[in-house]
Structure 1
Amino acid sequence: MLTAALIDRAVAAALDEDAPWGDLTSEALVPATATARAQLVAREQGVLAGGAVFAAAFRLVDPAVRVQSRLADGDAFAAGDILATVQGPARAVLTAERVGLNFVQRMSGIATLTARYVAAVAHTRARIVDTRKTTPGLRAFEKHAVVCGGGHNHRFSLSDAVMAKDNHLGVLTAQGLSVTEALQRAKAALPHTTHIEVEVDRLDQIEPVLAAGIGTIMLDNFTLHDLRAGVAQVAGRATVEASGGVSLDTVAAIAGTGVDVISVGALTHSARALDLGLDLRISD
């Protein structure tokens, strides 16, 4: 999903936002002939994501800037580790610094948080997946970061798969059809390869959904007791996903109920930017 073209478009837009008419401070204070050497340094431990995005910020300001990565996306690091080095014209390095850091700090924060969730359920069969609760325009970046942290991507967009929620089912059943009939009609109208997932919020909704031959059933905001009961009721006839009320404090217990997938919106909508800094030296 995170292609070079997509990276360049997003980073170019961010640079245009940050310096629409140039970097007045650097142009006023830094000689045009000055060069800079810098290190991307971790102030805390974490998991790297966004190395190529960080490098793109400098390249797009001035191709003469060279960025050398020391770690790959998905690699863990400790506080004090040098993640990359930067060398080139000082004005360009200073102009690109904030945009490059914004991307790599945000993406590494998501990867680091995801890794914590993945570690919390490592003793179970549950997979940690993301949601569509992403920053508008940056979904590919944030979902890439989830994978770097050991998580998995849910559907990327509304075009990827069918996921019927309560409002969708309400529209269908308002036509006088049962849930099973409505879902069967929807399946018949779709390409055979389209995956269908249906959200339920009560145990008594499970059987009518399964009767339609649905591939994944989401148990939304279920208690731990009802999650166990739901997994037993499905009995392997569909993939079982748990959603709602998931945090680092609750995820292990949710995974222990036997669900196959746990979707966590917090991976992208609540991740804290990681503390990474650019230590820079300028010379004539």
Structure 2
Amino acid sequence: MTPLFDFSADAIRALARDDVARALAEDIGSGDLTAGLIQTDRRARARVLVREPAVLCGAPWVEAAVRALDPQARLTWHVQEGESCVANQVVLDIEGQAQALLSVERTALNFLQMLSAVASKTALYVAMVRGTGARIVDTRKTLPGLRLAQKYAVRTGGGLNHRIGLFDAVLIKENHIAAAGGIAPVLARAATVAAQASFIEIEVETLEQLKEALNAGAAMVLLDNMDALMVQEAVRLNEAMSAAKGVGRAVLEISGGVMLESVRALAQTGVDRISVGALTKDVKAIDFSVRFESPLCLKP
């Protein structure tokens, strides 16, 4: 199935423009009263610095924000999207119309600090599982209205995207199983929407449920809140049952309570994917700041 959002460069630029338009309308409204004190013919130069180590993410949103108010502004990036930066490094120089740069400063930083935080946290998890074969995956625990931006940041940090929303894949959870009358019936029903779904995955909480799911033909199983020993047994069971049936083994994914300190031990069990809600839900903004050149504004 063709992905519903392909994250191509053109698509990301369009997404950034839409996100920025909403953010600027929210912040500026009928006009920036403070920036209005600056003469309209004044120009300014500004530097964006990062105050802590990070993976930079959000350049398309910064560019969209600046160019929304000053299409002729010049932006010179010293750190590229997805690259690591160190504390107190200058990541961007901007020159443009002074009023515009003052008005757009906070919106640009808000996107940069949030998306860099997601990318940086993702990169930490990815580094912890490197060499194990497991991949770090995001969830739907995202900021309302900014899901695609956050999922883009996960990709920038080296992670994988789970489903975009409820419309592009099937994830059968405990309540779905209960409502449908069991694992086998709900998987049978899922086959009717297979052509519309990127994947069909079912969540299990016990090894007995895993056996039932595999016997019912599950190709992708989410192991919910299992410790490393239980996950290890789930991997062994998956291998044994697939070998006995002469079919390919199911993709196994871990979810629930995954922490940075424990993620490598979980990855070493042999699972394929580890989904981490904290990538997008529990982010602490990366500290960026803007410094205008002194004197503040330069005549053209």
**Bin of the TM-score, shorter chain as denominator length:** over 0.9
Question: Conserved in 2, the CA contact under 8 Å of 1:132 and 1:265?
Answer: yes
1:68 is displaced (CA, Å) by 2.1
TM-score, normalised to structure 2, is 0.89
Q: Residues of 1 paired with 2:262 and 2:279: CA distance?
A: 14
Q: Residues of 2 paired with 1:165 and 1:142: CA distance?
A: 24
C-alpha change, 1:127 and 1:189, in structure 2 (3 Å) is: closer
Q: Residues of 1 paired with 2:21 and 2:198: CA distance?
A: 35
1:22 to 8, 31, 56: 31
Q: Give the corresponding residue for 1:246.
A: 258
2:113 to 84, 105, 116: 105
1:192 is displaced (CA, Å) by 7.9
TM-score, normalised to structure 1, is 0.94
Equivalent AA in structure 1 for residue 117 of structure 2: G
Structure 1 residues 261-276: aligned runs within 5 Å: 261-276=273-288
Q: Give the corresponding residue for 1:179.
A: 183
Query: Counterpart of 2:111 in 1: which secondary structure?
Result: helix
1:55 is displaced (CA, Å) by 1.1
Question: Conserved in 1, the CA contact under 8 Å of 2:48 and 2:93?
Answer: yes
Q: Which runs of 5+ in 1 are unaligned?
A: none
1:190 to 191, 194, 217: 194
1:3 is displaced (CA, Å) by 2.6
1:207 aligns with 2:216: no
1:72-100 deviation per Cα after TM superposition (whole angstroms, max 9, x unaligned): 21111111222111101111000000000
Q: Give the corresponding residue for 1:36.
A: 44
Q: Give the corresponding residue for 1:224.
A: 228
Q: Residues of 1 paired with 2:44 and 2:196: CA distance?
A: 57
% of aligned pairs identical? 42
1:41 is displaced (CA, Å) by 1.1
Question: Conserved in 1, the CA contact under 8 Å of 2:13 and 2:64?
Answer: no
Q: Residues of 1 paired with 2:123 and 2:198: CA distance?
A: 30
Q: Residues of 1 paired with 2:232 and 2:86: CA distance?
A: 38
Q: Residues of 2 paired with 1:262 and 1:114: CA distance?
A: 12
Question: Conserved in 1, the CA contact under 8 Å of 2:170 and 2:190?
Answer: no
Q: Give the corresponding residue for 1:13.
A: 22
Q: Which runs of 5+ in 2 are unaligned?
A: 1-6, 243-248
Equivalent AA in structure 1 for residue 160 of structure 2: H
Question: Conserved in 1, the CA contact under 8 Å of 2:77 and 2:91?
Answer: yes
Question: Conserved in 2, the CA contact under 8 Å of 1:108 and 1:274?
Answer: yes
Equivalent AA in structure 1 for residue 150 of structure 2: E
C-alpha change, 1:192 and 1:53, in structure 2 (3 Å) is: closer
C-alpha change, 1:273 and 1:211, in structure 2 (3 Å) is: same
Query: Counterpart of 1:14 in 2: which secondary structure?
Result: helix
C-alpha change, 1:106 and 1:179, in structure 2 (3 Å) is: same
Equivalent AA in structure 1 for residue 138 of structure 2: D
1:4-63 deviation per Cα after TM superposition (whole angstroms, max 9, x unaligned): 2221111011001111011101112x2222211011111111101111111111100121
* Displacement over 4 Å in runs of 4+: none
Question: Conserved in 1, the CA contact under 8 Å of 2:136 and 2:160?
Answer: yes
Q: Give the corresponding residue for 2:3.
A: none
Q: Give the corresponding residue for 1:127.
A: 135
Q: Residues of 2 paired with 1:201 and 1:123: CA distance?
A: 27
Structure 1 residues 62-73: aligned runs within 5 Å: 62-73=70-81
